[in-house]
Amino acid sequence: MTIYDFSYTSIEGNPVAMSEYQGKVLLIVNTASKCGFTPHYKGLEDLYRKYKKDGFVVIGFPCNQFGGQEPGSEAEIADFCAVRYGVDFPLSKKVDVRDSSAHPLFKYLTEQKGFVGLGSGLKATVLSAMFKKLYKESYHDCQIKWNFTKFLIDKNGNVVNRYEPTTKLETIAPAIEKLL
């Protein structure tokens, strides 16, 4: 099984086979419009615009599983992303990304690359305490812990890396460049 065996439904309601992205470098991200990390949309769009011509695609998967931070309809989400952040990269319809209801693509991604920690600093410490309180299962399980977890996929569909929400987007650029 590879990433190309999966599909999703676009935010406009159209089926999309992941095989359409063969030969491209992907950054797959679970997103939310009312999250402290929502400004990541700007950085994601900046990365997409910078490397799009070289075969790079960001795909956003809106998710409402974390604090109800994506409550809107698909139309509201698409409008928010376009108007507020100029998002032009593909978005899916709203999906779950953890637990038994997780979209099959996210089950696969988390099986390939488990939780890698949140880094250091005050924000990471606060988030770590919050995750431990929110989730009864092992804190270090492979499931997605919060909005804006990112998975980097190479041109052959291999999951190369996982970046937690606290990862600064500019630190991902060298890995993207290396894969392109």
> Mean pLDDT per 10-residue run, the chain (180 residues)?
95 98 98 94 97 98 96 96 97 95 93 56 51 48 84 95 90 96
User: For position 126, what pLDDT does the model report?
Assistant: 54
Cβ proximity of 123 and 131 under 8 Å: no
- Integer Cα distance of 140 and 7 in angstroms: 28
- Integer Cα distance of 34 and 71 in angstroms: 8
Cβ proximity of 108 and 158 under 8 Å: no
User: For position 145, what pLDDT does the model report?
Assistant: 83
User: For position 125, what pLDDT does the model report?
Assistant: 46
CATH class of 3-179: alpha beta
Q: Which residues have a catalytic role annotated?
A: 35
Per-domain boundaries in the chain:
3-179
pTM for the full predicted model: 0.85
